[in-house]
A = this chain, B = another copy of it.
């Protein structure tokens, strides 16, 4: 049978093992071709190919419900649930997202992109099934890497109390994005090495039934096990050992590089395009290494995603114990950072904006109530960041700037990024977060000598009159462009680099009243609850007219950033036109 002809899992049911094996080989070939041409997650779906094929062979999706964790391993699931074309025909590659998506298929139950959620989500499906008196199988899949997230533990703890069917597949490839970190992984290793017999079994300790499956890339074994547990009347953990990147030797050897990849050459495994230009993440990583060498109490922390921060293998080795990967455990990372700062260390937690969301309460309680001087480097907080609906990074300003004590800085170029980071690392007064610029790399070549200990002090970089353009962080540049456009019309706009997202410069705002009647705020994120609305509130009782630019509060999936901004009225042309109109 050809993969392209599989329209639904029903088409698999009558196949022989050898036919199914052949189909799995086709699926794996499709993965290699598509991801090497298009980019995407590679190691996870390659390793899970047999597991997913066997699940759909044995279970009856979508009546039986499979929930994937992160769902970056679900590509083969998509192939056998009517979406094979999107993996076989490059004109259709973008027909599907990189994650499960209920709008694509009834076989997908949730949009999922953050880790450690599958057990909780699936236990919700199971709880509803029980309330309704239904009897379908509920299956949650979770990787070993995702198990370090607290939400996964909470889910396991609850699932164990379900006196009913629930099948939790721990897909153990002994690898997170990078190597695993945490005591948990010693226990999993013991289980692998003892064929599941070790007494140090976290699943049994939580009261869960447990079964070990050594060869999770063997279809027959998997089918046998799944048939055995189908319609089981209580929760069980199937601990299934798979090989990440299985079937592509270079990925099997280079698990971290092939977790997610840009387009690459299938022969050599080398990326098609290498960008050796400077990056903001690189600037931070270089600075941190310098500080690590100068001060034994500086410690660079991350939660399972070192690659994006240029914490590559050699860097990690050089940093030694001054580099800490806590595993996928952002909450712990923030609380621990608070503790490190309290005891005289200099913690610098690097994190993606979308994952920092998981730490809201730790930021408030563990860090900011205690006002400890930990540093958070927030990457990809921008409309120009990751554009999957599950990885959006542009809610950070409303989230972070309503938390007392937290200083949130928004640099506009390399020199400000460096100066702000240096300030943050060396001060002992406040928790400080830094919104790493996203987009074109800008360097002025002139060191930034600003004293950032003077909070909420903005910089007027261009003095005009009539209209003031306040461009926060990344959006300082378009503010300047608008000013350039207005200058062509004889309008001499004031431009301000606010620098602080967590507060407003009330003295400056007051001063602007003297010879300005219009103030525009521009910010690279959601406008509701954002920075600009504080400016609008400040000027509310006055005659100043204020317009806040940013994007409206909405989820977007795989959007084009410029288009999205234009839809929200945020382009240089639109803002320029608004300015001319309002100044008339």
List the interface of chain A (C-beta within 8 A of B): 65, 67, 102, 109-114, 117, 120-133, 148-161, 181-184, 186-187, 199-202, 204-208, 296-297, 299, 321-322, 324, 326-327, 329, 331-332, 335-345, 347, 355, 357-362, 364-366, 368-370, 389-390, 395, 398-399, 401-405, 526-530, 532-534, 536-537, 539-543, 545-548, 553-555, 582
A83 to B391, CA, bound (A): 48
| Beta-carbon contact of A111 and B369 below 8 Å | yes
Set B154, B187, B362: member contacting A205, Cβ < 8 A: B187
B395 pairs with A117, CB closer than 8 A = no
Distance in angstroms between the alpha carbons of A582 and B158 in the assembled complex: 56
Q: A526 contacts which chain B residues (CB < 8 A)?
A: 402
Which of these, B113, B153, B326, contacts A153 with CB under 8 Å?
Answer: B153
Contact of A528 among B114, B208, B345, B534 (CB under 8 A): B534
A186 contacts which chain B residues (CB < 8 A)? 160, 206-207
Kindly state the separation between the CA atoms of A366 and B151 in the bound complex, as whole angstroms: 11
Instruction: Give the shortest distance, in Å, between A248 (CB) and chain B (any CB).
Output: 30
* A124 with B339: CB separation less than 8 A: yes
Contacts known (A121-B338, A540-B545); A157 close to B131, Cβ less than 8 A: no
User: Chain B nearest CB: distance from A535 CB in Å?
Assistant: 8
Nearest-Cβ distance from residue A61 to partner chain B, whole angstroms: 14
CA A152 – CA B365 in complex, angstroms? 14
Chain B proximity of A326: nearest CB distance (Å): 5
**Pick the contact of A529 from B152, B533, B539, B547 — CB < 8 Å?**
B533
Bound-complex Cα distance A148 to B159 (A):
12
B150 touches A149 (CB 8 A): yes
- Collect the chain B residues with CB atoms within 8 Å of residue A296's CB: 131-133
Nearest B residue to A358 via CB reads B361
* Chain B residues in 8 Å Cβ range of A366: 110, 117, 120-121
Using known A-B contacts A183-B208, A364-B395, determine if residue A343 contacts B536 with beta carbons closer than 8 Å: no
Contact (Cβ within 8 A) A365 B117: yes
Tell me whether B404 and A553 are in contact (CB under 8 A).
yes
Contact B335 A124 (CB under 8 A): yes
A225 to chain B: closest CB distance in Å? 22
| CB-defined contacts of A335 to chain B, threshold 8 Å | 117, 120-121, 124, 151, 155
**Nearest 4 interchain pairs by C-beta:** A124-B339, A150-B150, A160-B183, A398-B402
Task: State whether A127 touches B336 (Cβ < 8 A).
Answer: yes
A106 to B65 alpha-carbon distance, docked (Å)? 54
Shortest beta-carbon distance from A375 to chain B in Å: 13
* Bound-state Cα–Cα, A369 to B102, Å: 11
A184–B207 touching, CB < 8 Å: yes
Residues of B within 8 A of A109 (CB): 339, 342
Of the candidates B124, B159, B395, B534, the one whose C-beta lies within 8 Å of that of A338 is B124
The contact sample of 5 A-B pairs, CB cut-off 8 A, is A121-B366, A128-B343, A157-B183, A158-B181, A158-B182
CB < 8 Å neighbour of A127 from B159, B345, B554: B345
> Do A357 and B361 have beta carbons less than 8 Å apart?
yes
* A157 nearest CB neighbor, chain B only: B182
